[in-house]
Amino acid sequence: MAKVNLLPWRAERRKERQQAFYVMLGLAVAAALVIGLGAYMFYSQQIDGQNARNAYLTDQITQLDAKIKEIEALDRKKEILLRRKDVIEQLQANRSQMVHLFDELVRTIPDGVRLTSVKQDGNKLTLQGLSQSNARVSAYMRNIESSGWMTNPDLNVIEAAGGDKALPYQFTLALTLTKPGQVLDANGQPVLGSDGKPVTKQVSGAAASPASSAATAATAPATSSAAAPASPAASPASAASKGGATP
């Protein structure tokens, strides 16, 4: 005999399905919350780690900036010391130049020429003086050209001043100070080698190269004075009295 279920089974099944749906929905929401919380914590840790690295880099950059400032200060001190060193080396190299210069001024000045002013600007020398004639100035320029310590004479002005009848001509002469054997460029400046030092060429006699020994440089004035013939230009006193000589 067949059995017939007259209970509301459809409503019960629907209720069971609704309960299962709510359970699954709750589990999905919980899983979403757990995943979201995990992602939030993960990215928070990543951000905190990156902030820590950024703070470390900022601190290191600050320390490097301080070291860079110290290095710049040391570089400035180094540059100042190098400039002082160059000045000292230049003074050391040219300490005997003035002695040779005055010796050459006395030795090269001819009769009938008297100097009234000597001005130096670096390796440029400006001479002003009086002369009996143009020929005396030309002879003076030839003597300067043959000197080992002066070169490139350039006559700027020569005119009849008329103040002194014995020395009627007034002249201004520019020349370049050099050393025996030193090579100059077209502008009269010393040519420097790869080591930064002036280039010299080998010469003989009194015009020794600057690379010669200190003893040779010290005895050069005495040697040139001994080798030069006796003349009224042998002393500054006689050089000053040349203004009254006749051509």
φ/ψ of residue 126, rounded to 5: -115, 125
pLDDT at 15 over 90: no
Range with top average pLDDT, 6-15, 67-76, 205-214 = 67-76
CA distance 214 to 220: 10
pLDDT at 19 over 60: yes
pLDDT at 235 over 70: no
Instruction: Look at residue 65 in the predicted model and tell me its pLDDT.
Output: 95
Render pLDDT for 114-154 as a digit per residue (tens, 0 to 9): 888 888 887 888 999 998 888 888 998 888 888 878 888 88
- Where are the chain's structural domains? 54-93, 97-244
pLDDT at 83 over 70: yes
Render pLDDT for 95-119 as a digit per residue (tens, 0 to 9): 777 777 888 888 888 888 988 888 8
CATH of region 97-244: 3.30.1360.100
Around Cβ 79, how many Cβ atoms within 10 Å? 10
Q: 197 pLDDT band (50/70/90 cuts)?
A: low
Element (H, E) at 182: none
- φ/ψ region of 209 (left if φ > 0, alpha if ψ in -120 to 50, else beta) reads beta
